[in-house]
Structure 1
Amino acid sequence: MIDLLTLRLFALAAEHKSLSKTSAVANIAIAAISRRIANLEVEMGVRLFKRSQRGVELTPAGETCLIRTRNILGELTRLQGDMGDYRNGMRGRVSIWASTSAIAQFLPADLAAFSKEHPAIGLEIQEAYSAKIVSEVRGGNSDIGVILAGGETFGLLVWPYRCDRLAVVAPQAFRPGVSRVRFADLFDEHLVQMGYDTAMTRLLSAKANEAGEALRLRVAVDSFDAVCRMISAGFGIGILPLMAAASHVENSQLRLIELDEPWSVRQMLICTKSDVEPSGPTELLIDFLRAFGGK
């Protein structure tokens, strides 16, 4: 049987490329380490290391084994941490996958307020695009998702959360004197946005297609900060959530222009898997976030 000590020694040997260094780090005799790794190779039925006078090097099978071993040891560390939290008084844990827009605007403060009311409930928070969040919640890998409305939500229960508003981010010299603009007036402009997988860029692309135009996406980056930096460098304009953009525009050479469209106000949603009864802590968090619905 494969034991955790053997896996740890295997990972150390792969890292240090030397059984003698592994022996020094682990404080275990070289012969014992060599025997454990040899037994692991017998158990796996493949060679994991190429051995030479200079040390050890992973074989292709060893590379794969190392990836899986790190996953196993990582999960063990997380398990130990979770159990430590329960020993210290935690009464439950809720995993939340949330959109970039939610995390950049309202969600941190709302979750902090929840934690203040319920300090014994641990929260695990991960940022992702809405489409990825739907997949993770549907697959049972997240208790709660916070997504943007407009995407496919089959198999989920959804409730309204908060609303945000989109605004145009542009250089200070862009259309001086203009305080609001229609989306159609921007079709000739180069856009700097996050990638096509984001709910916002899909929305903009759909609205351009409805008008018989193609979205002129010049630069695709992976954060609101990067969007603003590229706009500052002269690569075009962008459309971002107003609250998230405001913090980047302040003390910069950028300005915000109101996007004069009914769809510029976007609804965020809380979602859970429809065929799974939520835990008590999850229900508490859902009810807490639902209280902000539509704000």
Structure 2
Amino acid sequence: MRFDLTDLQLFLHVAETGSITSGAERSHLALASASARLRGMEDVLGVPLLFRKPRGVEVTDAGRTLLHHARVVTQQMDRMRGDLGDYAKGLKGHLRLLCNTSAMMEFLPEALAGYMQAHPQVNIAVEERLSYDIVQAVTDGQADMGIIADTVASGNLQTFAFRDDQLVVVAAPGHAMTKTAQASAGKRSIAFEDILQHDFIGLAGDSALQQHIGEHAARLGQRLHYRLRLSSFDAICRMVESGIGIAVIPATAAARYKKTMAIRQWRLSDTWAMRRLLICVRQYDDLPAYARELVDTLRITPN
């Protein structure tokens, strides 16, 4: 089965306009040439891709499948042209880095700042994912490197220590959870299952951290009740301070906001809540020099 980009773009244009004539015009092809290409695609596949009607065409089920893949391929080609165009403008490197919520919001901004200043001709695309999704993406070559929690198996990837990430629960001084915790003199940690009855405040969107916390609640047969979802740990802690709910956030964020907000924190005693974040790559020695330099910048150097 061989379709070239002209075939795929023609099919996209025909599907979008509902007309072979209009699709041919958009593709800058003569009508006869466009019709021959479409027939040739159908002959190769052995199924019709279009229902031809007196006033246009409709895509068949097989055509809808081809349409999906055609969009993926053309989008990838557009991204490739853009990336290669950047090289023509002087860009020397492009990296795709996947990381979990804590790495993205708490540690990476400061860690990347010096590297980006020292490497003005390198672009980095950072995307948030769950740790086990990151492992799969790096293994499959869909990303150059990732930052994952050591609570997931890294498979055959090489890993390097990045940061420690303790999850804590924060609450307002007058919140019911605070009063319960204070009743236990000297108690500085609390089990996750002991806070599930309270209302939560969490991150908005498809946050990897919220998915991670939700999965552990599900393992306990519970479902978290979120009264509010916000875009940052700062906003979350401000709402926690008001007393409307509690939140599970990285200890680094809690320590920062405790300085200016009336909130209390307790370490989660569950083993999954104390995580070491790891940089993962397929093979360090196979990375281009600028990518190895990024790993070396981010990793914790043993004393």
Report the TM-score when normalising by structure 2.
Answer: 0.75
1:284 aligns with 2:293: yes
Equivalent residue number for residue 77 of structure 1:
78
Q: Answer whether contact 2:279 2:295 (CA < 8 A) is retained.
A: yes
Q: Distance in 1 between matches of 2:98 and 2:297?
A: 16
Q: Aligned residue pairs: how many?
A: 283
Distance 1:215 1:238 in 2: 19
The answer to whether the 8 A contact 2:50-2:57 is kept is yes
Q: In the alignment, is residue 187 of structure 1 matched against residue 194 of structure 2?
A: yes
Structure 1 residue 218 corresponds to structure 2 residue 219: no
Distance change (3 Å), C-alpha of 1:3 and 1:277: closer
Where does structure 2 lack aligned partners over 5 or more consecutive residues?
none
Q: Residues 224 and 182 from structure 1, CA distance in 2 versus in 1: closer, same or farther, beyond 3 angstroms?
A: farther
Give how far 1:118 is off: 0.7
User: Whole-Å Cα distance in 1 between the matches of residues 232 and 125 of structure 2?
Assistant: 25
Q: Hey, what's the Cα distance between the residues in 2 that align with 1:285 and 1:272?
A: 11
Q: What is the DSSP-based 3-state SS (H/G/I as helix, E as strand, rest coil) of the residue aligned with 1:240?
A: strand
Aligned CA distance change for structure 1 residues 225 and 52 (closer, same or farther; 3 Å):
same
Task: Give the Cα–Cα distance (whole angstroms) in 1 for the partners of residues 104 and 301 of structure 2.
Answer: 15
Following superposition, the deviation at residue 162 of structure 1 comes to 2.2
The answer to whether structure 1 residue 260 and structure 2 residue 267 are counterparts is: yes
Structure 1 SS opposite 2:224 = strand
In structure 1, give the amino acid aligned to 2:70.
T
Shift of 1:218: 2.6
CA contact under 8 A between 2:149 and 2:278: conserved in structure 1?
yes
2:169–2:268 Cα contact (<8 Å) kept: no
State the Cα distance separating 1:220 from its structure 2 match.
7.7
Show the counterpart of 1:92.
93
Secondary structure of the structure 1 residue equivalent to 2:153? coil
RMSD: 4.0
SS in 1 for 2:146: strand
Match runs of 1:11-90 below 5 Å = 11-90=12-91
Aligned pairs for 1:201-280 within 5 A? 214=220, 216-219=222-225, 225=231, 228=236, 237-243=246-252, 256-261=263-268, 266-274=275-283, 277-280=286-289
Report if the CA contact (8 A) 2:156-2:282 is conserved. Answer: yes
Deviations 1:203-245 (A, max 9, x none): x669xx9xxxx36433489x7649959x879995331224557
Amino acid at match of 1:218: L
